[in-house]
Chains A and B, each alone.
Chain A
Amino acid sequence: MIDFLVAVLRSGTPLIYAAMAGMLAQRAGVWHLGLEGLMIMGACASVLAAAATGSIPLALLVAIGVCLVFSLLFWVVIEKLRASPIIAGLGLTGLGLGGTDLAVQAVYGTQGSVRAPIGLPHPEGFGAFSSLSILVFAMPVVVFALFLLTRRTRFGLRLAACGEHPFAARSVGADPGRMRLIALLLGGVLCALAGAELALGSLQIFSINMTAGRGFMAFSAVIFGAGHPIGSAAAAVFFSVVEALGIRAQLSFGNAVPHQLLQMLPYIATIAGIWLSGRLRGGARAPSGLGELRDA
């Protein structure tokens, strides 16, 4: 049971950090499909920096820097050039998947995976939970802090106002463009942490396409969780429970059922999740200003 909980926390934490990034963007009215790309950039940058410098704080800073730059680029493209956030987000994801492949080959001259000499620190004295990194332990704090930020502060209300009705938000003096910038940049930091946890949390390795759709899953968790921080985190946990169950099932009756079919489980659960969230709330309920990045 404890083992199962540890497995869920390990696979769920990157998902939750990315989902928090998606949640912030969602509340600001941006349909953020670039999570996957930012996540893999964070994973790649943190491993390459850890291998180059041998320092974990530096690796995290580099990952955060890279994700901030690309979040800024995403913001410029959708806000200033008024591109479709869906297509631009997919472009950002493609940039991440292809760019990290390229970066690994530029640095190491080979295709495949890169090992980091060090990983994220693991706190001592928690029994089985000591195999988890500090980012797992920090996760509940981050989720709660984001809950307070988005639901209990003036900033959070303004953010939601910019997502729901940019025109009204503007009339009370909130600049929707700037609020989206803040939300996307904060999201960039969270995606960098998600990627770093994925790559340096327990395996200390980066491999091509290692995110395997987790960014999209995190985005679905935001939809399933109705854009609420705790709801989105809970949805992300649900998806990783399904994934952990799938891995369990592969171990126990992998010979009877082809394991590729079991690997489909998280994706199927995701589809079921977003379908249910639409059903339960009578149609997809997204912020009404979502996708229309008009300021006036």
Chain B
Amino acid sequence: MNSRLVVVLRALAYVVVALVLVGIVFELMGFSSLLMFRSIAEGAFLSKSALLGSLRWAVPLFLSALGVLIAFRAGFFNVGTQGQFYLGAIGAATAVHWLDGAPAFIVVPAALIAGAAGGALWAFWPGLLRVRSGTDEVLTTLMANFIAGLFLIYVTSGPLKDPTGTGELSASKPVAAAYRISTSSGLSPLIIAIAVASAVLVWVLMNRTAFGVLSGLAGRNPVMVTWQGARLSRLGLAAFLLSGLFAGLAGAVEFMGPSGRLVSGFMPAHGFTAILIALVGGLSVVGVVGSSLFFGGLASASLYLPIIAGLPSAAIDVINAAIALFITARTGPRLRFLSRFRRKEAQS
């Protein structure tokens, strides 16, 4: 069988395992898991408006997942997507704040670039620490997430605070309508174009350029790549920068598009979901397109769960976590009688 197909089938099988496990746990807790899965399906996929809602959540997740894909392929566990996403949103917000009053064709590109730069910057220093001093990037990027979360609170309650805001959560001023790249429905030709262009760009980068090939090899066997004469540290830094760039772009798109303002602590599970999307998609661009639609659907359904099924929206977080627990499993359970059976098969 085609090995890629096996990877996809195995990922799907473990997603199902996770869903069944979560279903059992929910029944034990006294929730109806059938009702939950039905409302997820209806809230995410079974009507045109539900599909559009899923697409709205899928696009930022997709952009972030592209970033995760680039880092993971190069062999770096960049789990700082959340922080890079926040810094992207903050970068875009800063640009909009400074350029307030300028025409939209200047402000919109500037904000998108500022967002991408913010995310790239937030990924760059863990990358630098990694390639220069061997500091474990899992920990630095995790800590960077907490710092970015606090920075977001600081920014929304300090420099970028909306003075007229009265809500409990601190937030920035809403983006002026002229600078919004979509309505709150989250879909517009520009956003779709950004997503498609990013997908094509990353596909070409990973499959048709020296960087893609070398970073893919570096992820599997760094020593060999050094022998081939590639500069591993430069490759690694580039992977980190690109990774953060796409997460930052996602933040900028989310801020200028559907959200329309900076709210402290918004979309707290975004980075984690993006990592899952990249893994479920088997770290391939095409796979990530498919899996981001699925997880976009889950994210969209999480808003309907409390209304339709009377379930807390944390249910979706639990589903995502259960999928994360299983998604990298490489084998099925190694049952003793099965392996004996296989040995016999090999002997005959």
State the A residues within 8 Å of B (CB): 31, 33, 73-74, 77, 80-84, 86-88, 90-95, 97-99, 101-103, 105-106, 111, 212-213, 216, 219-220, 223, 258, 260-261, 263-264, 267-268, 270-271, 274-275, 278-279, 283-284
Q: How many residues of B contact A (CB 8 A)?
A: 50
Which residues of chain B are within 8 angstroms of A268 by Cβ–Cβ distance?
A: 143, 147
From B29, B144, B317, A94 is in contact (CB under 8 Å) with B317
Interface of A is mostly: helix
Decide: A219 and B139 in contact? CB cutoff 8 A: yes
Among B90-98, B185-193, B199-207, B322-330, which stretch is in contact with chain A?
A: B322-330
From A82, A90, A95, A275, B79 is in contact (CB under 8 Å) with A90
Contact with A along B90-109 (1 / 0, CB 8 A): 00000000000000000000
Q: A91-B321, A278-B133, A284-B135 are in contact. Are A105 and B142 (CB under 8 A)?
A: no
Which residues of chain B are within 8 angstroms of A275 by Cβ–Cβ distance?
A: 129, 133, 135, 140
Smallest CB separation, A277 vs chain B (Å)? 9
Asked if B37 is at the interface (CB within 8 A of a chain A CB), the reply is no
Decide: A264 and B136 in contact? CB cutoff 8 A: no
Interface centre among A94, A258, A261, by most B CB within 10 Å? A94
Q: How far is the CA of A258 from the CA of B314 in the complex (A)?
A: 31
Smallest CB separation, B23 vs chain A (Å)? 13
Q: A95-B321, A101-B317, A102-B312 are in contact. Are A87 and B327 (CB under 8 A)?
A: yes
Decide: A274 and B324 in contact? CB cutoff 8 A: no
Q: How far is the CA of A31 from the CA of B322 in the complex (A)?
A: 18
Which residues of chain B are within 8 angstroms of A90 by Cβ–Cβ distance?
A: 79, 272, 275, 324
From B134, B144, B329, A81 is in contact (CB under 8 Å) with B329
From B154, B272, B312, A111 is in contact (CB under 8 Å) with B312
- Given known contacts A94-B318, A98-B314, A219-B139, what 14 new A-B pairs fall within 8 Å (CB)? A83-B330, A92-B321, A94-B269, A94-B317, A101-B314, A220-B139, A220-B143, A223-B136, A264-B147, A267-B147, A275-B129, A275-B140, A278-B135, A283-B133
State the B residues within 8 Å of A (CB): 25, 29-31, 77, 79, 129, 133-136, 138-140, 142-144, 146-147, 150-151, 153-154, 157-158, 269, 272, 275, 279, 312, 314-318, 320-334
Decide: B314 and A102 in contact? CB cutoff 8 A: yes
The 7 closest A-B pairs by CB, nearest first: A94-B321, A91-B324, A98-B317, A91-B325, A81-B329, A260-B154, A84-B328
Decide: B135 and A274 in contact? CB cutoff 8 A: yes
Which residues of chain B are within 8 angstroms of A99 by Cβ–Cβ distance?
A: 25, 314, 318, 321
From B133, B150, B315, A263 is in contact (CB under 8 Å) with B150
